[in-house]
Amino acid sequence: MQGDPGRARRQQARRKVRPWLYAVAMATLALSLALSLICMLDLSWPPVMLLSIMAPLWPLIMLVACLLLRLRGVALPGAILALGMLWLIAGAGSAGWSSPSAADRTVRIVEFNVWTENRSPAAAARWILAQRPDVVVLLEAAGRGGEIARALAPRLPYRTTCRGDRPCSTLILSRVAPVEHRGLARGDADNRKTLSAALVRFGAPLPPFALLAVHLSRPLPVARQAREIEQLAAAMAGQRTEPLIEPLIVTGDFNAPGWSMTMRRIADRLAVQPLPSPPSWPANLSVPAVLAIDHTLLGPGWAAARIERGPALGSDHHAFTITVAPASHDARN
């Protein structure tokens, strides 16, 4: 009985295509492996910093390539390597902190990118006040977002912006007067011409600490985040002739996930460790938040910390309540 000529032609075509498919899969495997390794290195070159924002994508591509290859001696080790890299990336930037106890002398901070087009500023202000914060950090507090800052002013009357006492959309509000306050922007921060950040220092009745509020630009153009990190490090180094002696808190919208070189670079340059951050963006959509781009990092001198995500409050970001407890004087010494 004569065979089916159509089936024979299809088999012949598959035999011709298969080597090309394997070649593409092998090239994809090699490229994704190289990108994964690069993203795990401590490099500050801006294009590599941009690649690191997508770091989990490269091991996932590796895994798919291995599943497509199904070659003995290649697929299984490659899949194990890809899964191992995903595990390492997922754990990057997640230092462990114990939760403050009821007996601890705590500081409560709300951090929130309120968005200039906030859809429910009154509800957002009510939620923030309900957290009974000592300090509030607001980003994009202009336009309708600025209404939130104005609503908080009676309860949190002390205000520092990224330009000191002049208008700027990155600002810090507090219920007690800071010992010192400074805007770190040197120019038009709201239009991303320079770093958007502010620094305040507190003393009694709060535990002594310094708070740095930061709003980094988006990853593109490529070199802008790297430039702002260096501006931030230089500004902090120039605050006093000696290093900060108070425990430091760094919080804000960094437009970068915790595993990225951007966040690793900030942690290294400012000598701080990150709190594990729940996803913060996007909020107010039908899909849940998928990226943690709002972060809090702590310097030495803190004994315990907890971060809690708030509901959607009219912004494209979630708000966070951060509770921290300082170490005892003996423990710091």
The tens place of each residue's pLDDT in the chain, 333 residues long, gives: 455 666 777 677 666 766 776 676 667 667 767 777 776 666 667 787 887 888 788 788 878 777 776 666 677 777 777 787 777 776 665 567 888 987 789 999 999 999 999 999 999 999 999 999 999 999 999 999 999 999 999 999 999 999 998 999 999 999 999 999 999 998 888 888 889 999 999 999 999 999 999 999 999 888 899 999 999 999 888 665 445 668 999 999 999 998 888 998 999 999 999 999 899 999 976 778 989 999 999 999 999 999 999 999 999 999 999 999 998 765 555
DSSP letters spanning 308-322: EE----SSSS--EEE
- HSE-CB of 256 using CA atoms within 13 angstroms: 34
The runs of H, that is alpha helices, within the chain are 5-40, 46-53, 57-69, 75-91, 121-130, 144-152, 224-237, 261-270, 329-332
Q: Please answer whether residues 75 and 66 qualify as being in contact, where contact means their C-beta atoms are separated by less than 8 angstroms.
A: yes
Check residue 303 and give its pLDDT: 93
Contact (Cβ atoms closer than 8 angstroms) between residue 323 and residue 106: yes
**First and final C-alpha spacing in the chain:** 91
Predicted TM-score of the model (pTM): 0.85
C-alpha closest to that of 177 among 161, 157, 149:
157
Residues 6+ apart with CB under 8 A from 209: 107, 201, 202, 246, 247, 248, 249, 301, 326
Position 55 scores a pLDDT of 79
Which amino acid type is present at position 244? L
Total length of the chain: 333
